[in-house]
Amino acid sequence: MEFTFEVRESDLMGRIGRLRVGGKALDTPCLLPVIHPVNQLVTTQELELMGFKGLMTNSYIILSRRRDEALKEGIHRMLQYEGVFMTDSGGYQVLEYGDIEVGYRRVASFQESIGSELSVTLDKPTGFSASEKYARSSMEYSLKNAITTINEYGQGKTVWVGPIQGGLFPLLLSKSASSLVKAGFEFLALGSPVEVMKNYKFPDLLSMVATTRRAIPYSVPLHLFGAGHPLTMALAVALGCDTFDSASYMLFAKDGRFMTEHGVSRLEAMKFLPCSCPICANTTVAGLLELDFTERTRSLALHNLYLLRKEIEVCREAIAEGRLWDLVQEKAIVHPRLFDAFKRLSKAIDLLLDGTPLLKDKGLFVRDRRDLARPELARASGRLKQSVMRSSNSAVLVISEVPLPLSKTRLQDHKLPSECDFYRLHPTLGPYPAELEFVYPFTQTVASSGACGKAQTAAAQKQLRNWGYSEVLLVNVDVDRRNSIAEPRSRQRPKGSSPSPPSSLAPPRLPRPP
Amino acid sequence: MEFTFEVRESDLMGRIGRLRVGGKALDTPCLLPVIHPVNQLVTTQELELMGFKGLMTNSYIILSRRRDEALKEGIHRMLQYEGVFMTDSGGYQVLEYGDIEVGYRRVASFQESIGSELSVTLDKPTGFSASEKYARSSMEYSLKNAITTINEYGQGKTVWVGPIQGGLFPLLLSKSASSLVKAGFEFLALGSPVEVMKNYKFPDLLSMVATTRRAIPYSVPLHLFGAGHPLTMALAVALGCDTFDSASYMLFAKDGRFMTEHGVSRLEAMKFLPCSCPICANTTVAGLLELDFTERTRSLALHNLYLLRKEIEVCREAIAEGRLWDLVQEKAIVHPRLFDAFKRLSKAIDLLLDGTPLLKDKGLFVRDRRDLARPELARASGRLKQSVMRSSNSAVLVISEVPLPLSKTRLQDHKLPSECDFYRLHPTLGPYPAELEFVYPFTQTVASSGACGKAQTAAAQKQLRNWGYSEVLLVNVDVDRRNSIAEPRSRQRPKGSSPSPPSSLAPPRLPRPP
């Protein structure tokens, strides 16, 4: 079956892509709502109308409970849905029910026969609190099934999705992921993050996804099993997860819980519905509570789906606008544990740099020192260090607000020597050659006042020392910053005095073009 | 006309209230969409269906263009809306068109005659870049009109809303606000924040609102003119603004702009609609762009209204849940200039403490040192300093994870003396007496790991010194923290050794009950 994945735009490791399978298309990032093959309160038609182009369902449950029908009609006709189906192998259920008759062959043949487009090979979920021994054995079992399946069946009738297991053990995750790619899998799915998320172990989620992403090529799409939570979606997208499935909308609904941008609340504990979706626009908390269980559950499920649908669109638009870092931060600020994960995002800078464009249309926001880890700034800082070198002894001008180059008249106004090197001052990167003035992201940075004071000043001082200028003259730099920067071995010009001539007038070595 | 304002719940200076006027009710915080009396693309029926219980319109424009009709039918029948009307005086237009025939009397009589529930007396907006001289004169002009109007007309037929002018000058704002209260105004409206917001001067917005709020009683509701922006609403609510009006939904729509939770985007520059409102759930960017100007403007205006409606509900629910501080921070992180304002929120701690309940149902989130300024923690810290004093010389136990009191067996396990003072360790407040263990917010704090490391450690060290314990024994404190806390004049117990007996076994002085 035809399978392609095309990345159209990217930011951090997040990608807007198009996944084509069997003549159908999924735009990514993408959420596949999980539907129950027997007992489904929200219909597939409703899901289609809401814009969901793909669904996830469980091949083992179909096999156990609607086998003949599915074989006769195929999954699409049986479940009345023409979009893309991904079928989970049901490895979890097989394990739970101890159904030893179901081996990888039975699962694979069935998935092929019912016409699923994306079929996960029979796996054994590692789980969250697994010992390394169990993690290894479940990973190896899943890997072996996967490789045997793809080799025996080929990809003529369905596209096999390779399940990555290994729990929290990085070496196991890496081995699992890279072996699957080597075996020919074009689409991988990372297992077991649900428990990690339920336990608020968001830094572990970050490590799991980053480890996996490092082990596979940029062009291979990655599915994250069961990660339909409004808080973590942006983080997972930023680390390179392309698709998600989730039954959360329904599980939460059955438990009377209402999703919001900042988490999940118990409907009974709420007073207002902070949402304008088609459900919430026409009801109230009291209105929902008056409904019978089934209708309330349906309403909550529909609301939850509208919320998740929006969160996916928010991620897509953030990638398109180049503000995915900002979105991840906006989400992270919601919960201290998620903030812990955000603080560790710089450890995945290798991945983030891969997907972040060299140029962006919009201003770059800096709130505090944590934003110094933004890939745009990390990249600019690296280039500055690599490219700007000089051995002359001429004076430096660090100029903050005056546009450059200065006219002769302005030079005279400021009583500057007619030849000297010009620099501007970046709020976080420190001084940079005036020639870079309009190169992204130097003047495009919008920083919170005093956000990076000390770190920035220290960096500037170090740079000035390293660049070996004998004299540093500061013009139009705001007063606070002047006082701190002038310190190391420069001097501030007394008002009205004329500068001592620079000891060398050699022009600065221009930075290499970016 | 009857007027009452009842505060039902509060958090920071934000209030969920009910404002009753002339037999009608507005639940606050509340947005009054501005409608144009002649040219209105979104109908008043549509606004009513969306749940807006009050509208703002301009009495001067009605006076100029639909005078006879308004006098004959009254404003409600003419504009086909039965909710609350607030009418602006049109001071801005009077000024702009130089219509010197319109004095405070003409405006006031007209507002009374057409049956407006809330009528702003004729004012002269100060504007944003006004000199102090102009600010003073415009404030005094507005104040004089206001006082004369309420004295001459009384509040029989309409409730007069007192316009506060004075621009960015705190003394003028204070004088304006307090004089209006003294003159009998029960509802005030703060002028001219639009330009402040357009210029991203969010810290100035904070100062203006805080200054005003300090000058008037807690029970007086405050309207903020023209502040319908999704980014600033939460901040304004947190500082005690109860109602807003805004034409922004329509002005942005006419300019092809789409509101989101994090700002306003040009539709043409967007690829996805990050929203699930009834408009966005059924269209796409391309779909909106295909519409003719009028239909596109209407769709954008409706979307913008759904977004603002949601933002108001988000503020209300955040007050009800006691997470308004968190919401303000979530919004502030979006833009560095708004973050500047958030960093200054602690300067209004007097106001924030006023409205923050002593007890909350939910965990208290701490991400980094900025959260130390939360009123809940500021209050707890103050109480701790006031209440916990002792002069004995017994040993202190600082215990982080073990629930207290320790059983005899546990004491022996840890080789502790049988009598000593017990403390627990709060991630940001430092050590606190075990007796406070279940008092909010001590054990209810959820902190990001290492978020407050240095500040917290410094505070703990100071406290330990001040409390005069001769010996500090640390049990079950996580290792990082133990190393830093143990430093000043305590010692860590070598593993397996028995502690030296404390020099005094006097019980600690219990803190005063909260």
Q: Write the pLDDT tens digit of every residue in B216-242.
A: 999 999 999 988 899 999 999 999 999
Q: Residues B131-183: pLDDT tens digits?
A: 999 999 999 999 999 999 999 999 999 999 999 999 999 999 999 999 999 99
Helices (runs of H) and strands (runs of E) counted in chain B: 20, 19
Q: Residues B345-391: pLDDT tens digits?
A: 999 999 999 999 999 988 899 998 889 899 999 999 888 877 766 54
More confident call, A115 vs B512: A115
Averaged pLDDT of chain A = 86
Q: Check residue A280 and give its pLDDT.
A: 98
Q: Check residue A495 and give its pLDDT.
A: 38
Q: Residues B186-220: pLDDT tens digits?
A: 999 999 777 888 888 999 999 999 999 999 999 99
State the DSSP string of B142-188: HHHHHHHHHHHHTTSSSEEEEEE--TT-HHHHHHHHHHHHHTT-SSE
Give the one of B321, B343, B448 whose C-beta lies nearest to A336's C-beta: B448
Q: What is the dihedral of CA A370, A376, A378, A384, to 10 degrees?
A: -130
Q: Kindly state the tokens that stand for A348.
A: 């995945």
Q: Check residue B502 and give its pLDDT.
A: 32
Closest CA to B191 of B237, B255, B122: B122
Tracing tokens 């009800």 back to the chain, one arrives at B320
| Beta carbons of A281 and B276 less than 8 Å apart | no
From the candidates A15, A200, A309, A333, which should be mutated to test the interface with B, based on the most B CB atoms within 10 A? A333
What is the β-pairing status of strands B14-21 and B3-11?
antiparallel
C-alpha to C-alpha distance for A243 and A110, rounded to whole angstroms: 23
CA angle A395, A398, A404 (to 5 degrees): 105
Average pLDDT over residues B455-477: 66
Q: What is the dihedral of CA A98, A99, A104, A108, to 10 degrees?
A: -130
Query: How many C-beta neighbours within 10 Å does residue A308 have?
Result: 24
With cut-offs at 50, 70 and 90, classify the pLDDT of residue B504: very low
* Structural contact between residues A232 and A254, judged by C-beta atoms closer than 8 angstroms: no
Average pLDDT over residues A359-374: 90
| Beta carbons of A278 and B276 less than 8 Å apart | yes
The ipTM of this complex is 0.89
Low-confidence winner among A250-259, A397-406, B112-121, B501-510 (lowest mean pLDDT): B501-510
* Structural contact between residues A474 and A482, judged by C-beta atoms closer than 8 angstroms: yes
Q: Kindly calculate the radius of gyration of chain B based on its CA atoms and give it in whole angstroms.
A: 28
Exposure string for B416-454, b = 16+ CB within 10 A, e = fewer: bbeebbbbbbbbbbbbbbbbbbebbbbebbebbeebbbe
With cut-offs at 50, 70 and 90, classify the pLDDT of residue A384: confident
With cut-offs at 50, 70 and 90, classify the pLDDT of residue A505: very low
Chain B residues in contact with A343 by the CB 8 A cut-off are 448
Q: Label residue B96 exposed, middle or buried (CB < 10 Å: 0-12, 13-18, 19+).
A: exposed
Chain A residues in contact with B309 by the CB 8 A cut-off are 276
C-alpha to C-alpha distance for A95 and A145, rounded to whole angstroms: 14
Which residues does residue B244 pair with via DSSP β-bridges, in sequence order? B31, B224
C-alpha to C-alpha distance for B70 and B269, rounded to whole angstroms: 42
Closest CA to B246 of B311, B200, B166, B165: B311
Q: How far is CA A102 from CA A35, A110, A145, in A?
A: 22, 11, 12
Per the rule left: phi > 0, alpha: psi between -120 and 50, beta: everything else, B345 is alpha
Q: Check residue A240 and give its pLDDT.
A: 97
* Structural contact between residues B88 and B114, judged by C-beta atoms closer than 8 angstroms: no
Give the one of A277, A329, A449 whose C-beta lies nearest to B333's C-beta: A329
Q: Is the pLDDT of residue B414 over 70?
A: no
What's the pTM value of the predicted model, to 2 decimals? 0.90
Q: Check residue B509 and give its pLDDT.
A: 37
Give the one of A50, A271, A447 whose C-beta lies nearest to B320's C-beta: A271
Per the rule left: phi > 0, alpha: psi between -120 and 50, beta: everything else, A492 is beta
* 3-state SS record for A319-378: HHHCCHHHHHHHHHCCCHHHHHHHHCHHHHHHHHHHHCCCCCCCCEEECCHHHHHCHHHH
Q: Is the pLDDT of residue A412 over 70?
A: no
Q: Is the pLDDT of residue A158 over 70?
A: yes
User: End-to-end distance of chain A based on CA atoms, in angstroms?
Assistant: 42
Closest CA to B31 of B352, B322, B306: B306
- Exposure of B346 in the CB half-sphere (CA atoms within 13 A): 13
C-alpha to C-alpha distance for B225 and A55, rounded to whole angstroms: 47
Q: Check residue B152 and give its pLDDT.
A: 97
Give the one of A281, A307, A321 whose C-beta lies nearest to B278's C-beta: A281
My answer on whether omega of the bond before A29 falls inside 30° of 0, hence cis, is yes
From the candidates B448, B449, B452, B456, which should be mutated to test the interface with A, based on the most A CB atoms within 10 A? B448
Q: Check residue A228 and give its pLDDT.
A: 86
Q: Check residue A292 and give its pLDDT.
A: 98
Instruction: Identify each DSSP E strand in B22-151 by its residue range.
Output: 24-28, 30-33, 54-58, 84-88, 118-120
Q: Kindly state the tokens that stand for B47.
A: 């606004």
Task: State the nearest Cα–Cα gap between A315 and chain B, in angstroms.
Answer: 8
Active site residues of B: 88
Give the one of B309, B361, B447 whose C-beta lies nearest to A336's C-beta: B447
| Beta carbons of B316 and A270 less than 8 Å apart | no
Q: Check residue B457 and give its pLDDT.
A: 61
Q: What is the dihedral of CA A494, A500, A505, A509, to 10 degrees?
A: -30
Q: Residues B237-284: pLDDT tens digits?
A: 999 999 999 899 999 999 999 999 999 999 999 999 999 999 999 999
C-alpha to C-alpha distance for B272 and B251, rounded to whole angstroms: 21
Give me the count of residues in chain B. Answer: 514
| Beta carbons of B365 and A337 less than 8 Å apart | no
> What residue of A is the nearest CA neighbor of B336?
A448
C-alpha to C-alpha distance for A184 and A160, rounded to whole angstroms: 9
C-alpha to C-alpha distance for B377 and B272, rounded to whole angstroms: 41
| Percent of chain A predicted with pLDDT > 90 | 66
With cut-offs at 50, 70 and 90, classify the pLDDT of residue A235: very high
DSSP class of residue A34? B
Closest CA to A315 of A49, A34, A14: A14
Averaged pLDDT of chain B = 86
Q: Is A201 on the interface with B (CB under 8 A)?
A: no
Q: Check residue B388 and give its pLDDT.
A: 66
Q: Which residues contact B225 (CB under 8 A, 6 or more apart)?
A: B88, B163, B189, B190, B191, B192, B193, B194, B245
Q: Is the pLDDT of residue B2 over 50?
A: yes
Average pLDDT over residues B299-304: 98
Q: Kindly state the tokens that stand for B269.
A: 């520059």
* Structural contact between residues A355 and A403, judged by C-beta atoms closer than 8 angstroms: no
- Which residue in the list A11, A88, A123, A326 is annotated as catalytic? A88
Q: Kindly state the tokens that stand for A342.
A: 């955000």
Q: Is B285 on the interface with A (CB under 8 A)?
A: no
C-alpha to C-alpha distance for B442 and B439, rounded to whole angstroms: 6
SS3 content of chain A, % helix, strand, coil (to 5): 45, 20, 40
C-alpha to C-alpha distance for A296 and A306, rounded to whole angstroms: 15
Low-confidence winner among A148-152, A176-180, A279-283, B88-92 (lowest mean pLDDT): B88-92
| Beta carbons of B337 and A310 less than 8 Å apart | no
Q: Check residue B411 and give its pLDDT.
A: 61
Query: How many C-beta neighbours within 10 Å does residue B167 have?
Result: 26
C-alpha to C-alpha distance for A202 and A241, rounded to whole angstroms: 15
| Beta carbons of A366 and B336 less than 8 Å apart | yes
Question: Residues 241 to 280 of A: which have CB under 8 A from any B CB?
Answer: 260-262, 265, 269-278
C-alpha to C-alpha distance for B14 and B324, rounded to whole angstroms: 8
Average pLDDT over residues B279-305: 98
Q: Is A27 on the interface with B (CB under 8 A)?
A: no
Name the amino acid, one letter, at B315: C
More confident call, B98 vs B106: B106
| A vs B: CB pairs below 8 A | 133
Closest CA to A245 of A47, A14, A31: A31
Give the one of A276, A313, A340 whose C-beta lies nearest to B310's C-beta: A276
Q: Is the pLDDT of residue A68 over 60?
A: yes
| Beta carbons of A281 and B316 less than 8 Å apart | no
Task: State the nearest Cα–Cα gap between A227 and chain B, in angstroms.
Answer: 19
Q: Is the pLDDT of residue A413 over 80?
A: no
> What residue of A is the nearest CA neighbor of B337?
A448
Sign of CA dihedral B266, B268, B269, B270: positive
C-alpha to C-alpha distance for B337 and B316, rounded to whole angstroms: 24
Q: Check residue A476 and give its pLDDT.
A: 62
Q: Label residue B119 exposed, middle or buried (CB < 10 Å: 0-12, 13-18, 19+).
A: buried
* Structural contact between residues A320 and A336, judged by C-beta atoms closer than 8 angstroms: no
C-alpha to C-alpha distance for B406 and B425, rounded to whole angstroms: 15
With cut-offs at 50, 70 and 90, classify the pLDDT of residue A388: low
